[in-house]
Amino acid sequence: MHFSDKIEKRMQELDSQLVIGIDPHPEKVLDKSSRFAITLNSDDPEYLLSAFCHIALEVAARTACAVKPQAAFFECAGIPGWKALRRCIKMAREMGLPIILDTKRGDIGSTASAYARAYLDPSSEFFSDAVTVNPYLGPDSLEPFVAAAKKSGSGIFVLVKTSNPGSGAFQDAVLADGEPLFAKVARVVAAFASSSIGNCGYSNVGAVVGATYPEHLSILRSLLPQSIILLPGYGAQGGKAENLKAAFHPGGRGALVSSSRAIIFSYENSEPGQLSESRIFDAMLEAAQKAKKEIQAIVGTGASPTSST
Amino acid sequence: MHFSDKIEKRMQELDSQLVIGIDPHPEKVLDKSSRFAITLNSDDPEYLLSAFCHIALEVAARTACAVKPQAAFFECAGIPGWKALRRCIKMAREMGLPIILDTKRGDIGSTASAYARAYLDPSSEFFSDAVTVNPYLGPDSLEPFVAAAKKSGSGIFVLVKTSNPGSGAFQDAVLADGEPLFAKVARVVAAFASSSIGNCGYSNVGAVVGATYPEHLSILRSLLPQSIILLPGYGAQGGKAENLKAAFHPGGRGALVSSSRAIIFSYENSEPGQLSESRIFDAMLEAAQKAKKEIQAIVGTGASPTSST
């Protein structure tokens, strides 16, 4: 199934625009003194990362449109990290959960093709439903990813405007024609997007737009009419739900909201004393349901407040 | 030792500005029908990649200032690829060969720190002397890499102007103040570079500038007075030696020229019939010596042509 159709179907079935970012920070998951490692009574990085993913995936299966594992947090654990990521991808697939692997890769020609082979080729153990891609090297650096995505029915999300405080330095740079650079990038993404549209009307070429910059969302929504917009930075990074509305088409379509820390480390807010795996799951589930409802309230889906009284 | 001092020392000892790019394309190294796999009589990806690296490293030990393994070509082989990359890094270190790992990573805040932990932390199995970094996300996305490099004495090379045909689309975009984007990026890199200078006068914060764009080299050389400039695209990508001169300071200092395919696949030009490991080594060595001499001739180092008659 075309990536955008898979996302659209799950979005409607679960009535959820939420993406759970799986960012297993080493100091919170692997450090011997972390609450997670103490609770699981292990110092084996592959086991700890796999167990963390398993809990987050069980939560996502009940609440989220997709999961977004962050490659960096697996890479920094070396080979055991890669083995855990492989298991995470396998588990997600078995659960029917779409996986957006946050790799932010970008390179030229045959090197970009090698990255596409690593993550968008069904024969790879790291085959994901979609990856994030960095556009700095130019349109020709995106082509191999677009081609691989078309071939395997997977998707890509191109970084257009990121959520960090310093994203403006280059992305907002005003060009001689008066437009910021991110708009120029968006036009290139839109052209690629129009070449691969699913039955639902959306493309498998999406865009990443930080949830922290609401003033850009409506501009980018109109520049990218056929792209699914992935909005990271909601929750812990300061992005607020009410700022996100401009990214959505009517009925809560066309955008996904990613939240990581506020969900996956929610158990750290629980009282001191012994945690258990089931309490960690419960805390994550509660935080995910809360995020899902906040987003529903903004986009106008979900049970209406009046009908539930 | 500070990364720039290590490079400077080896550059002088070997009288070489050459970097050998290790890009083991799967169709040339892993495919059963490739000349390399047939010669080594194996279909084990970890063995084939490790053996390929070993030959390239032996060649580099005799001719090159550093090696630049391209992460994508290991990643696309999955876990066996990562194991081979780990071995490649270990072998290079044992040979005293500086490793510039071409990762082109880039992300924000704690995620960038995780990438830095993966590749610039001495406790990591993938610890390299330097990595390449993508600046699109902004100066704050570079900071964790700069900080990690300072701490471990390693280096980074920030993509400023890449060697591919489409690099102009965004990197050359003219800003309202009349400058291209790559110049703005260069100024940010120069500011970081000035904060971490080795005894040799160069910074551990370098820049990648494609060898295919000679018209930009002198501009970028002056914008980046303290950075080592890494010039990929020499050889197979069409970059010519005589175009490179503007990147160097007098005495052939301050820049490195990377060549991949023209060296590491030079054995494919040999006559049909059975290759052997030693013939592959000989072909690579000959190509590397040729590239080294071409570069010496341009920068004015090496034995002078008159003195050798």
Rounded mean pLDDT, A121-135: 98
Q: Which residues of B touch A262 (CB under 8 A)?
A: none
- The per-residue pLDDT for range A275-284, each reduced to its tens digit, is 999 999 999 9
pLDDT at A300: 82
State the Cα–Cα distance between residues B252 and B267, nearest whole angstrom. 29
Count of C-beta atoms within a 10 Å radius of residue A271: 6
Judged by a CB distance cut-off of 8 A, whether residue B105 touches chain A is: yes
Which of A95-99, A213-217, B225-229 is least confident?
Answer: A213-217
Rounded mean pLDDT, A38-62: 97
- The per-residue pLDDT for range B119-168, each reduced to its tens digit, is 999 999 999 999 999 999 999 999 999 999 999 999 999 999 999 999 99
Judged by a CB distance cut-off of 8 A, whether residue B87 touches chain A is: no
Beta carbons within 8 Å of B118's beta carbon, 6+ residues apart:
A72, A75, A76, A78, B124, B126
Does the predicted model carry a pTM greater than 0.90? yes
Q: Which residues of A touch B208 (CB under 8 A)?
A: none
pLDDT above 70 for A239: no
Residue of B nearest to A103 (CA): B105
Nearest to A175 among B105, B168, B174 (CB): B174
pLDDT at B303: 60
Cβ-Cβ pairs closer than 8 A, A with B, add up to 191
pLDDT above 70 for B305: no
Sorted by where each begins, the domain ranges of chain B are 3-299
List the B229-231 sheet strands across, edge first.
B66-69, B18-22, B255-259, B229-231, B205-209, B155-161, B130-133, B100-105
Query: How many Cα atoms within 13 Å fall on the side-chain side of residue A205?
Result: 29
Q: What is the DSSP letter of B129?
A: S
State the Cα–Cα distance between residues A90 and A226, nearest whole angstrom. 29
Which of A78-82, A208-212, B276-280 is least confident?
Answer: A208-212
Rounded mean pLDDT, B32-44: 96
State the Cα–Cα distance between residues A205 and A3, nearest whole angstrom. 9
Which of A29-43, A182-196, B154-168, B228-242 is least confident?
Answer: B228-242
- Selecting among B6, B28, B32, B104, the annotated active-site residue is B104
CB contact under 8 A, A115 and B173: no
Tokens of A23: 């960012």
Sign of CA dihedral A101, A102, A107, A111: negative
Q: Which residues of B touch A165 (CB under 8 A)?
A: 138, 140
Judged by a CB distance cut-off of 8 A, whether residue B78 touches chain A is: yes
Alpha-carbon torsion, ordered A95, A279, A38, A288, to 10 deg? 50
Query: How far, in whole angstroms, is CA A207 from its chain's centroid?
Result: 11
Residue of B nearest to A208 (CA): B137
Q: Which residues of B touch A160 (CB under 8 A)?
A: none
Tell me, what amino acid is at A40? L
Residue of B nearest to A76 (CA): B118
Rounded mean pLDDT, B223-227: 98
Strand A205-209 to A66-69 pairing? unpaired
Residue of A nearest to B233 (CA): A108
Judged by a CB distance cut-off of 8 A, whether residue A140 touches chain B is: yes
Nearest to A176 among B107, B163, B175 (CB): B175
Strand B130-133 to B100-105 pairing? parallel
Rounded mean pLDDT, B8-12: 97
Average pLDDT, chain A: 94
Beta carbons within 8 Å of B215's beta carbon, 6+ residues apart:
none
pLDDT above 60 for B309: no
pLDDT at B239: 62
pLDDT at B307: 38
* Residue from B70, B76, B102, B185 whose CB has the most chain A CBs within 10 Å, to mutate: B76
- The per-residue pLDDT for range A153-201, each reduced to its tens digit, is 999 999 999 999 999 999 999 999 999 999 999 999 999 999 999 999 9
Q: Which residues of A touch B180 (CB under 8 A)?
A: none
Q: Which residues of B touch A126 (CB under 8 A)?
A: 75, 78
Nearest to B138 among A112, A135, A169 (CB): A169
pLDDT at B233: 82
Rounded mean pLDDT, A101-129: 97
Residue whose structure tokens are 């004495």:
B153
Q: Evaluate whether B155 touches B98 at the Cβ level (below 8 Å).
A: no
Q: Which fold has domain B3-299?
A: TIM Barrel (3.20.20)
- The per-residue pLDDT for range B73-119, each reduced to its tens digit, is 999 999 999 999 999 999 999 999 999 999 999 999 999 999 999 99
Residues of A annotated catalytic, as ranges: 104
Main-chain phi, psi angles of A104, to 5 degrees: 45, 40
Judged by a CB distance cut-off of 8 A, whether residue B196 touches chain A is: no
Query: How many Cα atoms within 13 Å fall on the side-chain side of residue A6?
Result: 17
CB contact under 8 A, A118 and B78: yes
pLDDT at A306: 44
Rounded mean pLDDT, A29-57: 97
Residue whose structure tokens are 């950075």:
B227
Tell me, what amino acid is at B1? M
Residue of B nearest to A126 (CA): B78
Chain B: give the shortest CA distance to residue A47, in Å.
16
Q: Evaluate whether B170 touches A185 at the Cβ level (below 8 Å).
A: yes
pLDDT at B236: 64
pLDDT above 90 for A15: yes
CB contact under 8 A, A82 and B79: yes
Chain B: give the shortest CA distance to residue A165, in Å.
8
DSSP per position, A4-55 = HHHHHHHHHHHT--EEEEE---HHHHTSTTSHHHHHHT---HHHHHHHHHHH
CB contact under 8 A, B126 and A173: no
Beta carbons within 8 Å of B179's beta carbon, 6+ residues apart:
none
Judged by a CB distance cut-off of 8 A, whether residue A187 touches chain B is: no
B243: confidence class by pLDDT, cuts 50, 70, 90? confident
* Residue from B31, B110, B123 whose CB has the most chain A CBs within 10 Å, to mutate: B110
Judged by a CB distance cut-off of 8 A, whether residue A109 touches chain B is: yes
Judged by a CB distance cut-off of 8 A, whether residue A108 touches chain B is: yes
Rounded mean pLDDT, B67-73: 98
